[in-house]
Amino acid sequence: MKSELIKIAGSGSYFPREVTLLAGTDRPTSDVLEPFSAQALAFLDDFSRALRRDRGARQDAEAMALAFWCRRTHMLALKDRYCAAPGRTGRGKIFHLAPANVPMMFVYTWAIGLLAGNAGIVRISERTLQREAVQNVLRIFRELFLQEENAAIRERTSLISYDRSDAVTEQILADCSGRVLWGGDETILHMQQIPMPENAVELTFPDRVSLAVISEEALEKADRETLRNLVHRFYNDTYVMDQNGCSSPQTVIWLKKTASINMASPPGDSLSDAADEQSETGTIRGKWWRMLAQEAEREYGMDGFRAARKLEKAALSAMQTDKIVSIRRFCGNELFVLRLAGLPEDLAAYKGGFGLFFETEAEDMTQIFPSFSDRIQTVVCIGIDPFEQAAAAAQQKAAGALRFVEAGQALQMDTVWDGIDLINALSR
Amino acid sequence: MSYREEIDRLVQMPAYGLAHAQKADLYAKMLTAGTQYHREKCPEYGRFLRALGCPAGSFFCKEEISKESVSKKKIPLEEIPFLPVSIFKELDLKSIPDEQVFKVITSSGTSGQKPSRIFLDAETSAVQQKVLARIVSEEIGDRRLPCLMLDTKAVLRDRRHFSARGAGILGFSVFASRICYALDENMDLNLEEIREFIDRHRQKALERGEKPRFLLYGFTFMIWKYFVRALEAAGVMLDLEGSVLIHGGGWKKLQAQAVSPEEFASRIRAVTGIEQVRSYYGMAEQTGSICMECQCGHLHTSTWSDVIVRREKDYTVCDIGEAGVLQVLTPIAMSYPGHSLLTEDRGVLLGEDDCPCGRRGRYFRVLGRLPKAEIRGCSDTFEA
């Protein structure tokens, strides 16, 4: 799997012997750049183009999303959000730890560190490396770094791997100006125990739970094409990352039409009850779920293992609480919908995966905010305006690291994440 | 008759005597009672059924139901709700008060996974033992046999590792008149002891004017690695002709080494002379009601178990010969809601009532575990 281009860090290297250098330099510089430096923007644009040209990378949706993200116009749009405070620079070397199962995350975190003006040392997990798309991206990095004009970025990039070792991590951190930790709560708590220089900064991005709010009225007004497009975007927000991304919606909250509606029996096939051939296929909720399931049927590649995890999750949820009113399936095992008895105390307690959603309903947004906790992150807004909701949430002091986005944007990386402005936090 | 009385009666029935119509009748009745019983006794299970839309008082029927005659409460037997077998790793599910817990069986689980915990009361445990005895006696006869346990006694001593291997050995010990552990603590052959054991019991049998016959029991992979291969390496041949070897625990590790069931059996025959090599399919979540292999190499459901093979994409029922995921049914799970479980094993139904071996009931083959998929998502950073 690993190419012959991989060098083992040798003498004079910044890294201990256990470290394998995958791309970049084994002697990263602490020399800082200004935020959104010309060198960084130029390299990321080159990188974006190289990705899009690459036969292997082109096959991978996540690599293409990354290429889209890195292109110059998007970088400039991000830059525009920051007023150019003169004299602001990066901090030095930043250590990044990316989650194992979001394959392209190691590039995003490195790129944001670079945009802030820093050199980035990124530990990539063994599991991430097993992905072909990741190998393609690493190969593109190595090819770009062969070019002399990219030397400035090369000496600020160390993409590395090593077997889990706190001693090695500690050595690497010894001359770092900060660390950026993405991942599960346990990993983050563990990594926080490892010492680093006292003035170094630390950004942590622990597990979060996200949701979607859908206006029934807006969906009913939407024409077939608009609806299909929304479903497709929502599919990308959820199934693409096995619905396991922190920003993938887990619960759908239906905003009821102001006129009273009949909520008799929800559509879908009950797991066990063949008698439950639904009459109410005409509702917009049923239509939405059915269309989503059909999209999953075409695109997702459901398998027995994922189906088993969903069944387990459905059973566990129904058994552990008395809040689950019904379990319905759409298109076989493509989609499970678990109906909640009203708005729960904490929406973050409900986590699905692989196309298992919880659903409930509300009259309007203000009813929903009290069910938010600190662990709530992205709110995908469908048929309602995300900016208005963000303002309303702020006004009502809703809990959570909130981020309101339109359908299709849930997984899009931003330089502001979990309420932290990474560009500002990683520069001085 | 109460559910538990019905089960007592069931245990007395012949192991492989029920043809489809009778068995479907019986299972519709027994599993209706079982589902109702667990709904009342196990609150978690009751909540699950409620969420599924399976109302109290529903009953299963053996016949196909036409769409018109379907009512909320009348459910075809093949639509019986199933629990994912992995649920026992997550929750302690019991249909008995805590003070009646007689024994807790824990499954080994794959490394790094939580083990299943199955709660038995004295009665369920006894019924499981009886059923196991009935099934095994079909292979070895009614008399106990001198038994070579193809494992180390250490698996019993170490409580922490008291897992499926230990439980299997204990379970099969009841068929042994005398036991000799074939392996020492280092998993090396106790060749001296084995020879002495075989000679002594051969002698005794011959003195009684009987053909010497031994029971050998162990886990498939252990037998292969530490018994067959060790005998081959030592160039030793044991004279165990006429004996029976029963093994369980799955083919996964042997499949990885490309050892087929046929090769396994022929290599055993070569080093021991044993013709009767039988695997079985069973799990801690349904102890006792194991499915034993027949001379045709088919796994058989007995009076006390049934299988349904389901399509992975929608859990509809597979045709004969079509691979899917195995659902296992048993009426004898009384102290916990384990009467209808969807496993994570793939298998294929080969037929029903018509195996050349003459046994009635469904017979099938196990194809191995559902392959684990690489899961995306951000909740874990480090591989162990």
pLDDT tens digits for range B35-88: 999 999 999 999 999 999 988 888 888 766 665 555 668 888 888 999 999 999
Q: What is the pLDDT of residues A221-238, one digit of tens each?
A: 999 999 999 999 999 999
pLDDT tens digits along A139-169: 999 999 999 999 999 999 999 999 999 999 9
Tell me how far apart the alpha carbons of residues B354 and B350 are, in angstroms, rounded to a whole number.
10
Query: Which of A252-266, A291-305, A368-382, B363-377 bottoms out in mean pLDDT, i.e. has the lowest?
Result: A252-266
Select the residue of B72, B370, B381 nearest A184 (Cβ to Cβ): B381
Q: Which of B52, B375, B380 sits opposite A272 (nearest CB)?
A: B52
Which of B48, B91, B378 comes nearest A246 by C-beta?
B378
Q: In this structure, is residue B219 part of a structural domain?
A: yes
Cβ atoms B16, B302 nearer than 8 A = yes
**pLDDT above 50 (res A14):** yes
Rounded to whole angstroms, how far apart are CA atoms B333 and A174? 59
What's the pLDDT at A266?
A: 53
- pLDDT beyond 50 at A119: yes
Nearest CB among B84, B91, B377 relative to A102 is that of: B377
Does residue B230 belong to any structural domain of this protein?
yes
pLDDT score of A2 more than 90: no
- Whether B257 and B195 map to the same domain: the answer is yes
The dotted CATH code for A7-206 is 3.40.605.10
Give the pLDDT confidence score for residue B300 in this predicted structure. 97
Residue A213's pLDDT is 97
B contact test, residue of A162, A305, A331 with most B CBs within 10 A: A305
CATH number of this structure's domain A209-406: 3.40.309.10
- Residue A338 belongs to what H/E stretch? strand A335-340
Say yes or no for a CB contact (<8 Å) between A183 and B379. Answer: yes
Q: What's the confidence (pLDDT) of residue B64?
A: 65
Residue with tokens 């037998």: B223
Mean pLDDT, chain A, integer:
90
pTM (whole model) above 0.90: no
Residue B382, domain member (yes or no): no
Residues of chain B with pLDDT under 50: 161, 380-384
Q: Are residues B101 and B164 in the same domain?
A: no
| β-bridge pairing B276-281 and B244-248 | parallel
Torsion sign (Cα): A404, A407, A410, A413: negative
Span between the terminal Cα atoms of chain A, in Å: 40
Q: CA of A312 to nearest chain B CA: how many angstroms apart?
A: 6
Smallest CA-to-CA distance from A231 within A252, A256, A258 is with A252
Indicate if B310 and B203 belong to the same structural domain.
no
Chain A residue with minimum CA distance to B72: A275
Q: Are residues B18 and B74 in the same domain?
A: yes
DSSP annotation of B246 reads E
Q: Which residues of B touch A327 (CB under 8 A)?
A: 51-53
Task: Answer yes or no: is pLDDT of A17 > 60.
Answer: yes
A382: which 2 tokens?
């469908």
What is this model's ipTM? 0.90
Per the CB < 8 Å rule, is B54 touching A272? yes
Is residue A21 scored above 60 in pLDDT? yes
Range of the domain at B364: 3-120+283-368
Name which of A245, A272, A304 is nearest B81 (Cβ-Cβ).
A272
Residues A318-338 pLDDT 10s: 999 999 999 999 999 999 999
Alpha helices in A72-124 (DSSP H): 72-80, 105-115
* Six-digit token string for A247: 């920003």
- Best of A102, A247, A316, A319 to mutate (most B CBs within 10 Å, chain B): A319
> Chain B: nearest CA to A131, how far in angstroms?
10
Q: Which amino acid is at A188?
A: I
**Rounded to an integer, what is the distance from CA A344 to the centroid of its chain?**
24
For residue A248, give the DSSP letter: S
Enumerate residues 199 to 258 of chain B having a beta carbon within 8 A of any beta carbon in chain A: none
Which candidate, A136, A79, A130, A128, places its Cα nearest to that of A105? A128
Same domain, B198 and B293: no
Which alpha helices (H) appear in chain B, and where do they start and end?
3-11, 20-41, 43-52, 87-90, 122-140, 154-157, 164-173, 191-207, 220-222, 229-234, 252-256, 261-272
**Interface contact flag, B381 A187, Cβ < 8 Å:** yes
For the domain that residue B221 is a member of, what is the CATH number?
A: 3.40.50
Same domain for B294 and B275, yes or no, is no
The reported pLDDT for the residue numbered B108 is 60
Nearest CA in chain A to B51: A326
**How many Cβ pairs within 8 Å bridge chains A and B?**
182
Total domain count, chain B? 2
Q: Are B378 and A105 in contact (CB under 8 A)?
A: yes
Q: Is residue B185 part of a domain?
A: yes
Q: B382 CA to chain A: closest CA distance, Å?
A: 6
